[in-house]
Amino acid sequence: MLATMKKLLLLITLTLCGWGVQAQGVKFEKGGFDEALAKVRAQRKGNKLLFVDIFTSTCGPCVMVNTKIFPTKEAGDFFNANFINLKINMLEGEGPEFCKKYKVSAVPTFLIIDENGEEVDRFVGASKDAAAFIQRAKQAMTTENSIRELGNAYEQEKSFASGMPYLRRLYTNSMPEEHDVITELFWMVSDEERYSPEFFRMLFRNTKFGDPVFNEILCNRFVAQQLLGDKELENFFTSMAYGHARESGFEPEATAEAIALMGAAGISPDNLTFTMLRVKQMELQNDIDGIIDYFEKHYTPSQQIYGYELTDLYEQASEEQKERIRTYFESAIQAAKNTVQLYENLRQRISEQ
């Protein structure tokens, strides 16, 4: 009897502790968006906004925020005092329509919405702890730094100075307006601003092979090169070229266009991406001799070109070509052995000291 009572007391204690942990965290509404927004509007003081967590059940960062941040007392104290809180699954129920309306394309995304149902601001992605997450929410609550207000400031006076703060927020949160704003700015600003490292980095992911911005950069590449440097511009052109070919499934015409671009942009034939595209083109043409020639000429172990294409073509190669392929791999193996021996000698040297 005594043992039974002890077990019962333990169960009650654990249950109460569990309730305490749940109670100290962020309290989320049980209803949908309309009900939560109605609560925001019904406040007497009107000092709370609506905080919406858009998630999916398979999203790792979503789970992390839900299990490591929202249950904490620190998060509960802040969010319960400042917001009506709501969770919306991006893929279920009202989620798809909600995400379409508010242009949400990534999870986790956290929206702050006013009593009129208008977005005040947002932030995307998990944080390392509750303190960092709360700080991001505080910044989003500061109206003058919100995406909405920065956008209004840009619309009133379109310039590099007003556009960059707005663009940074759009870029960080992967918002669809980013493309239109950066394209508009590209044609407005000076070369020094257009080819500044930060602006060009944001331009990178908003440019596609053959579009007007891309063509302008290609035509103006010597100015861009002076302001950005060789490496930054080479990365841009090689990424554009390879992306164009890959998106087509390495269709012959698109692959040829990508190779032509790299030649026009002055990219060295020894560039790894250039090599991959040239080999892919010869593979499409079933030019086995050309592929073998190319590997024999350009292969070095540091380039990490291992000759997979040669093994794929081996069955259809002639006996002479098969012999060349075998010789190529034997030479590559010997080169690798020489490299291993070099490092072994160096290791031996320091172990003797």
Provide DSSP, 12-67.
HHHHHHHHHHHHHS--B-SS-HHHHHHHHHT-SS---EEEEEEE-TT-HHHHHIII
pLDDT in tens, 206-252: 999 999 999 999 999 999 999 999 999 999 999 999 999 999 999 99
In a domain, 117, yes or no: yes
- Strands of the sheet containing 49-55, edge to edge, are 83-89, 49-55, 109-113, 119-124
**Residue 17: what pLDDT?**
43
In a domain, 112, yes or no: yes
Region 70-93 average pLDDT: 95
**Residue 272: what pLDDT?**
82
**Residue 213: what pLDDT?**
95
Domains held by the chain: number: 2
Q: In whole angstroms, give the CA distance from residue 182 to residue 203.
A: 7
The answer to whether the beta carbons of residues 291 and 261 sit under 8 Å apart is no
In a domain, 234, yes or no: no
Which pLDDT band holds residue 14 (cuts at 50, 70, 90)? very low
Say if residue 16's pLDDT is above 80: no
Percent of the chain at pLDDT exceeding 90: 61
Q: Would the pTM count as exceeding 0.85?
A: no
Region 117-127 average pLDDT: 91
Q: Domain holding 88: CATH number?
A: 3.40.30.10
- Which residue segment(s) compose the domain that 304 sits in? 286-345
In a domain, 312, yes or no: yes
Say if residue 61's pLDDT is above 70: yes
Which pLDDT band holds residue 327 (cuts at 50, 70, 90)? confident
Which of the residue ranges 73-82, 173-182, 279-288 has the most confident prediction, judged by mean pLDDT? 73-82
Region 345-353 average pLDDT: 86
pLDDT in tens, 239-291: 999 999 999 999 999 999 999 999 999 998 878 888 889 888 888 888 888 88
Say if residue 43's pLDDT is above 60: yes
Angle between helices 177-188 and 160-172 in degrees, nearest 10: 150
Of 86, 108, 141, the position where a domain reaches its end is: 141
Say if residue 22's pLDDT is above 70: no
The answer to whether the beta carbons of residues 334 and 304 sit under 8 Å apart is no
In a domain, 94, yes or no: yes
In a domain, 235, yes or no: no
Integer CA distances (angstroms), 28 to 87, 93, 223, in order? 7, 17, 54
In a domain, 116, yes or no: yes
| pLDDT greater at residue 272 or residue 204 | 204
Detail the DSSP E strand segments found in the chain: 49-55, 83-89, 109-113, 119-124
CA 299 to chain centre: 32
Region 53-67 average pLDDT: 94
In a domain, 223, yes or no: no
Of 103, 122, 141, the position where a domain reaches its end is: 141
Question: Hey, how many other C-beta atoms are within 10 angstroms of the C-beta on 246?
Answer: 14
Of 111, 141, 171, the position where a domain reaches its end is: 141
